Chains A and B, each alone.
Chain A
C-alpha cells in the first residue's frame, strides 16, 4: 500500500449475545486525511463499529490498529481519536470555552496559555468566538453541534469520529452544516469517519463510503463508483433510487449478460459472473429510462407502458408505470422531455432503456 492507513480494522466482530452478531468480521483501511462514511440502515452495525474505534465498546474478535499501533484494548482516553456525539454530549456545568478546552485542561498536555490560544482559534474556526462565555444550553442546535466539533478537534485527533452528527438538525441547517463539515475537514486535513443513515449526506460529502448491512461491509467505494457500479443489489437499492426487478439470465457471461425481465430483453452489467438460467435481481435507475423510443442501439430495449402515478419532483417528473410482466417501474422524465406529452395517469407512453444502464445481481435465495 502506498500510504500507511491511519485506521485499520482487521476481522473485527462484535457479539452482544449468543444470538446478536452486531458487527461481523469486517476489514477496513482508512487513509490519512480521508473523509469516509459508514452508511447503512439502522441496526447495520455502523454505530457499533464507530464506538469500537472510539474505545467505548470492546470488539469480540479482531484487532483495531490506529497509526499502525494495536489499540484494540486501549481505553477511550488512551486513543488519538475524538468523537462528536449524536446529541453532542456537551458538559452542562461548563461554559462554551471550558467545554472546548476540556480535553486540553486534562493533565499537563498543553500549557494553559497555549490551550487558551487554541480554544480561541478553534472557536473562530467554527464561527462562535463571540459565544465563548455563553452557557451551552443557551445555544441553538446548530451552534451546539459546532461546539461539539470544536471540542473534539481542538485536541488535534488523528481521526475525528462523527456519530450521526447532523441528524438532530432541521433539513435547511443540515445542508449548511454538510458544507461546513467538508470545509473544516479539508482545511484541517484530519481524517473524518462519519456514521450516517442518510445516503444523500454520505454521497455529497464523503471521499469514500462503506455501505454496511447486517453487520457486513457490502462495498467500500467513492460515491460515484457506488452510484455507477454497485456490487450488490443491496447497494444498488440503498444508494440512490433504483428499480429492483426479478429477472432471468438468457445469455450468461462475465461483465455483461442478457436478461429477461417481464417481456423485456436487454443487456445488463454483471459484477458477478452469471450462468444462463440463473435468477437475478436487476437494478435499473429511474433516470436511465427514457421517454420515447431512442435511436435503436445494441442492448437497449424499447417498449410501452401505462402511467400509474405521476409525482412532481421539481426538476423532473417521476412516473410509475406498468409494463407487460412488470407491476411497477419508476421512471424520471425531465420537464423538457415531458414537454410535448400529457403524461397523465392512464396514458400509454413509449419508453426505452439506455444500454449498459442496468445491473444484474444474483437473486437472493428464496426464503424457505
Chain B
C-alpha cells in the first residue's frame, strides 16, 4: 500500500532536509566501504571457508565432495587435541595474566606520572615493533639458551655453578617470550583507559578519606576494568593460536594448538582436519573469553 501521494508543493517544510540526510548516509557508506570490504572478503569469507572445510569429507578434492561431522567429532575426541588445546589455553592464560600485570604499572605511570615525558616513553614502548617478530623470538633464544646470555651472566656472577637447563625449550620460555612480544599491545588499551579516567573522581575519593591504596583498589582499578579486559583480549586471543614461539623456544613439551593446525595443513596435508581443529580452538577461545567477561561484569558493575 502506498501512502497518499502529495504534490511537491504540499510537502511540509519539516520534511525538506531529507535529501541532505541521504547524502549523509552515502558519506557514511563510503567511509565504511574499505573496512567493510576487507572484513567481508578477507575475514568473514575465510572464516566461512574454514567452517565449510571442517564439514567436508577429505577425499583428495580441494573442497571435498560431501558433508560430514567426522572431522569435528574426531578433533574433539582426540586426546592429543584436547591436551594440546588445554595446554594452549593454560599457557595463554598465564601469558595474559603476566602481561597485563606487568603492563598495568607501566600504563599507570604513563597515565598519571610521566608528565612531559609521556610521548617519548610511549614512542620507546613501540620501539621493539620496529624489528620483526621472528627476530625478537630469536633474541630470546639467545638470552635463554643453555650457553646463552642469562646463563653466562648467572655463572659469571657466581650465582650458579652450572648452566640452568630449565630455561630454553620449556613452557616457561614460551611464557617469557610471548609476554614480552605482547607487552606493548597490553600497555596501550590500559594507558588509554587510565588516561581517560576523570581526575576529579580521584580527588573525590581522597576527599572522602581514601588513602592512595584505597583510592586505587576502590576507584581506579574497578574503573579501569574495561581497559584490563581489552588488554587481556588483545593478548589472549592471538597467543592461543601462536605457533612460531612454541616452535622456536618451547621445546617438545609446549607445542600449542597452532602447531597442530599448521601440521595438518602442512606436513599431513589434511586440510579438513586442520580446519576442524581451527574451528574447535576458536570455539574454545570464545567460551573462555565470554565466561571471563561475564565474571568480570558481575564483579565490577553495581549490584
Q: Which residues of A contact B (CB under 8 A)?
A: 54-56, 75-77, 81-83, 85, 87, 89-95, 98, 102-103, 105-107, 109, 135, 151-152, 155
- Of all chain A residues, the one with the shortest Cβ separation from B200 is A89
Chain A nearest CB from B181 CB (Å) reads 32
9 contacts between A and B (CB under 8 A): A55-B206, A56-B207, A77-B208, A93-B222, A93-B300, A106-B209, A106-B211, A107-B214, A109-B209
Q: A89-B201, A107-B214 are in contact. List 13 more A-B contacts (CB 8 A).
A: A54-B207, A56-B206, A77-B208, A77-B211, A83-B203, A83-B204, A87-B200, A89-B200, A89-B203, A93-B219, A94-B302, A98-B302, A151-B208
User: A93-B223, A98-B302, A106-B214 are contacts. A152–B203 as well, Cβ < 8 Å?
Assistant: no
Interface of B is mostly: helix
> B200–A107 contact, CB under 8 A?
no
B: which residues have CB within 8 A of A? 198, 200-201, 203-211, 214, 218-219, 222-223, 300-303
Find chain A residues with CB under 8 A from B302 CB.
Answer: 93-95, 98, 135
* CB-CB under 8 A for A95 and B303, given A56-B203, A76-B203, A102-B218: yes
A2 to chain B, nearest CB (A): 31
Taking a contact as CB atoms closer than 8 A, the residue among B200, B209, B218, B300 that contacts A77 in the complex is B209
B300 — which chain A residues lie within 8 A by C-beta?
Answer: 93
Closest Cβ of chain A to B203, distance in Å, is: 6
Q: For the complex, what is the distance from the CA of A7 to the CA of B114, rounded to whole Å? A: 35
In the bound assembly, the distance between CA atoms of A94 and B208 in angstroms comes to 15
Which residue of chain B has its CB nearest to the CB of A105? B218
Query: In the assembly, what is the distance between CA of A152 and CA of B206, in Å?
Result: 12
In the complex, are the beta carbons of A82 and B208 less than 8 A apart?
yes
Q: How far is the CA of A125 from the CA of B300 in the complex (A)?
A: 29
Contacts of A107 in B (CB 8 A): 209, 214
Does A85 lie within 8 Å of B203, measured CB to CB? yes
Chain B residues with Cβ below 8 Å from A91 are: 201, 204-205, 219, 223
Q: Considering residues A93, A103, A135, A151, which has the most beta carbons from chain B within 10 angstroms of its beta carbon?
A: A93
A54 to B204, CA, bound (A): 10
Hey, which chain B residues are within 8 Å of A152, CB to CB?
A: 207-208
Q: Which chain B residue shows the least CB distance to A102?
A: B208
Distance to closest chain B CB from A318 (angstroms): 39
